[in-house]
Amino acid sequence: MEIIKRLRLQSQLKERPKDETKLGFGDKFTDHMFKMDYYDGAWRQPRIEAYAPLVMSPAAMVLHYSQTIFEGLKCYRHPDDRLALFRPRENFKRFNQSADRLCVPPIDEEFMLKALKELLRVDGHWVPKQPGASLYVRPTIIATEPHLGVRPSKEYLLYIILSPVGAYYKDGFAPIRIYVESFYTRSAPGGLGAVKAGASYASSLLATEKAARIGYTQLLWLDSIEHRYVEEVGSMNMFFVIDQKIITAPLTGTILPGVTRSSVFEVARDLDIEVQEKLLDINEILEAKASGRLSEAFGAGTAVVISPVGTLCYKEKEFTVGDGQVGPITQKLYDELVGLQYGHKKDTRGWIEFVDR
């Protein structure tokens, strides 16, 4: 399929953010977007056009029954000015897994990568130069058919938008405070937990707001049956370092299979650090803390890469992880991943995909 381009005139281009140190997350967008429609049983009319509001029927199914999925990845500027994507095929593979779960028709993963690169060739000058900043890529699919009966839509819009985002750790690599949620749950076996669906985020808002009100940045979700086993945090997979081993929840269908999570596995292995996937009871973590065997905890996800956790609050009691500072394993993993993404370390694993211009 040929990608049609209807680009803005030079005089219609937006003004780019002048101060890249002041970029936040996800509130500025580039000049163009990629779009493609699905109807009559096929994806059609791939095109790159001006970033603009969408027009759809108020009866569009996504607005009523949340049939929507998304992805999140980043484009980095390397020191030689080349634009680099980090393991983008993994994201498009997962996009299809999400599509399958939400009854959305599958996409051609290689074609999507080609489309994204084409969009980045058009708007590549938006990829920030500032260390730690990047261009966040948000592929999305929404059900657009105007219909109020509950069933999968027969029409969809797929789009990719791009947002320049700032360095997450503006004031240094600082540990966050996490609230262990023992009432609300994020996902149940057989539910949407393993895919990137907007609906999962809608159901997470209330608990996250309540935790924010009492001073916690993020929530650590426990399993929905026994409220004991740690699952994941906000939009990150969660890792604990106990007895110098990294432990994380297994992919049993209730947590998201993060690209960063799998990258942590491989990088840790190369650093001779053992990684274990196992059900980890929150009480086991408290015991490990009491006996001094819990040295570090961190989250991992595209937006933050690695986020050290300094404090956990469970059942009204707060406790410090390790010495409350960034631990050595957390730091090593962060340095290695960020080094690869920004082109300061050699990519020996074929994870970097360049956008040739």
Ligand X SMILES: *Cc1c(COP(=O)(O)O)cnc(C)c1O
Compute the least distance from the CB of residue 30 to ligand X, in Å.
Answer: 20
> Least distance from C-beta 196 to ligand X, angstroms?
5
Q: Are 175 and 299 in contact (CB under 8 A)?
A: no
Stretch that binds ligand X, among 24-32, 232-240, 271-279, 327-335 (CB under 6 A): 232-240
- Is residue 88 part of the contact set for ligand X (CB under 6 A)? no
Which residue, 235 or 320, is less far from ligand X as judged by CB? 235
Compute CA distances 290 → 168, 319, 321, whole Å. 31, 10, 10
The torsion angle over the Cα atoms of residues 18, 22, 24 and 27, rounded to 10 degrees, is -30
Pairing mode, strands 352-355 and 230-233? unpaired
Q: Which is nearer to ligand X, 138 or 293 (CB)?
A: 138
291-303 burial by CB neighbour count: b if 16+ within 10 A, else e? Answer: eeebbbbbbbbbb
How wide is the angle at C-alpha 192 spanned by C-alphas 186 and 198, nearest 5°? 80
Identify the three-state secondary structure at position 210: helix
Structure tokens at 92: 């498009």
Minimum gap (Å) between residue 31 Cβ and ligand X? 25
Q: What would the two tokens of residue 262 be?
A: 């799998």
According to the binding rule CB under 6 A, does residue 236 interact with ligand X? yes
Size of the site for ligand X (CB under 6 A): 13
259 binds ligand X (CB under 6 A): yes
CB-nearer residue toward ligand X: 94 or 117? 94
Q: Is 260 in the site for ligand X (CB under 6 A)?
A: yes
For residue 166, state whether it binds ligand X (rule: CB under 6 A): no
Q: Are 138 and 102 within 8 A, CB to CB?
A: no
Say whether residue 105 binds ligand X (CB under 6 A). Answer: no
Nearest approach, Cβ of 200 to ligand X (angstroms)?
A: 7
Name residues contacting ligand X, limited to 287-326 (CB under 6 A): 301-302
Q: Which one of 258, 308, 327, 343 is in contact with ligand X (CB under 6 A)?
A: 258
Distance, first Cα to last Cα, the chain: 20
Binding to ligand X by residue 85, rule CB under 6 A? no
The reply on whether position 196 binds ligand X by CB under 6 A is yes
Q: Do residues 260 and 315 touch, judged by C-beta distance below 8 A? A: no
From residue 268, give the alpha-carbon distance in Å to each of 17, 264, 274, 321: 36, 6, 7, 20
**Residue 223 in contact with ligand X, rule: CB under 6 A:** no
Does 235 help bind ligand X (rule: CB under 6 A)?
yes
Q: Which residues bind ligand X (CB under 6 A)?
A: 72, 196, 232, 235-237, 256, 258-261, 301-302
